[in-house]
Every structure is written in C-alpha cells, then in structure tokens.
Amino acid sequence: MSALLWLDPEDEETPFPPVHQALRDPDGLLAIGGSLSQRRLLHAYQRGIFPWYGQGQPVLWWSPDPRTVLYPERLRISRSLRRLLRRSLYRVTLDRAFAEVMAACAEPRRGQEGTWITADMRAAYGRLHRHGSAHSVEVWQGQRLVGGLYGVAMGGIFFGESMFSRGADASKVALAHLCGQLSLWSFAVIDCQTRTEHLMRLGAEQLPRPAFMRLLRSALALPTRPGPWTLQPEVVQCLAESGRIGVRSTVE
C-alpha cells in the first residue's frame, strides 16, 4: 500500500499514475484519496479509472485487468426477457429520475452490509448529471420506479456504475433499452468495470487492459452526447416488436 499514490483532496492538478502501475492484489487498485470533484471524476474516466470504496474509507481509484465490457449490439436477450419486452409491462425513460435511481442502487443488497454508493458519491454523480455527463435509465410500472441503472457517458463509451431491480427482470429491461439507444447512436461499448456471472450471461466480455485502453481512446474520439437524454421511439418499438437490439443508425 505504501507504493500507491495518495492524492490531496485540495489538489486537482496531480495526475493519476499510468494504469499499468495498478496493483495486482487487490486487482486494479491505483491510487488513494483525492476528491470526487467533477474535474477529477471526468479525468479518471478518460484514463480508464473509476472510484470504488466503502463508507469510512478514503476514495479508492481502480483500473482492473482484465476489464469487463459489453458491446451494445451483442447483448444477449433471453427468451423470457424477449417475451417480457413484447408484453410492454414496463415503461422506460432516460434521465427522468437520476437521484431516485442512485438512491435505489445504494440500498443494501441481500447478504451485504452497507453500500459503496455513499452520500458523497450520490452528491458527486448528481453534479455530473446536472452537468450532462451522468445518465440514468428508469423502468416504471405505473408510477412506481421498479428498476434502473446509471453511469457516465463520454464520447462513444458509457461507463456503467450500478443497476437495481424491484420487479421481474426490470434491470435487464433497463439494460436492453440502454443498449438499443446506444446502438442507435453508434456508441462503441459499455464499460462494465469488473466481472460478474450476471454480466457474463448477458453477453459481457473481458479485455486485457491494453486492449481496453485502445478501445477507450477510440471511443473517446467520438462526439459526446450531453444530457438530458431522451429514449427514441424506434428503440422502444424495435424491442417491443422483435425483442431485439435494432441496427445501428448512420444518421445523427
């Protein structure tokens, strides 16, 4: 731990170390401290780094190897999810209830104590949302929020942070609509950060860090779409009619 760079919360000029200097154990830990300012967070994402820490800890900055990614058009939609999408049981929106989605993602999960989505994290990403850089997907059943996810978008990459579900497959419905919208906008990839069996079943893949960094650089070269975002009707229609991610649009 002594070899890690400690960042001064009052100093936003000190750059992060190169990501290849991240520890192998724990995998990807790169730096400690600093702030969750808008500048620091966007600087981190541009370099393949993200914050992840628990209540009472300093900010911990990570860049794991390998990196888990999901190409929007490669999302695996199961037969049961396809049937659910065709039923149109849920209504999906973008950027309508960012704070509520983060609060729901922060609720402790079964078998977990506490949450890594601290009050400071919620405030920081709320600022990014108001800036137009952080986005949410909301899944509604009537007027009740039953699922969703949030993350940060820059260029043609969406950095996924967390998702939640209070209804049957509601988080998968959120992800399907996000993938449809990102595919329509010709986004390159969703950064899922770390591997979970759930993500792998949905079609996520793992890339060695050098390959991920090359992908990140090319994705960041694409135009950024600031928020607030709106879900396009053709995305909803395609998922409801065919249960599939639509073909990428070449029209801006």
Enclosing domain of residue 48:
5-64
In whole angstroms, give the CA distance from residue 134 to residue 109.
23
In whole angstroms, give the CA distance from residue 183 to residue 71.
9
Tell how strand 67-70 and strand 205-207 pair up: antiparallel
Here the CATH number for the domain that contains residue 19 is 3.30.70.3550
Q: What is the pTM of this model?
A: 0.94
Residues 51 and 99 in one domain: no
> Which is nearest to 100 in space by CA: 53, 58, 146?
146
Residues 87 and 30 in one domain: no
Structural domain includes residue 251: no
Helix 170-184, helix 79-87: angle, nearest 10: 80
Tokens of 94: 């973008």
What pLDDT tens digit does each residue of the chain (252 aa) get? Answer: 447 999 999 999 999 999 999 999 999 999 999 999 999 999 999 999 999 999 889 999 999 999 999 999 999 999 999 999 999 899 999 999 999 999 999 998 765 555 789 999 999 999 999 999 999 999 999 999 999 999 999 999 999 999 999 999 999 999 999 999 999 999 999 999 999 999 999 999 999 999 999 999 999 999 999 999 999 999 999 999 888 886 443 333
How many domains, the chain?
2
Residues 48 and 99 in one domain: no
Contact 141, 174 (CB under 8 A): no
Here the CATH number for the domain that contains residue 111 is 3.40.630.70
Tokens 């949030």 belong to which residue? 150
Backbone angles phi, psi at 69, to 5 degrees: -130, 160
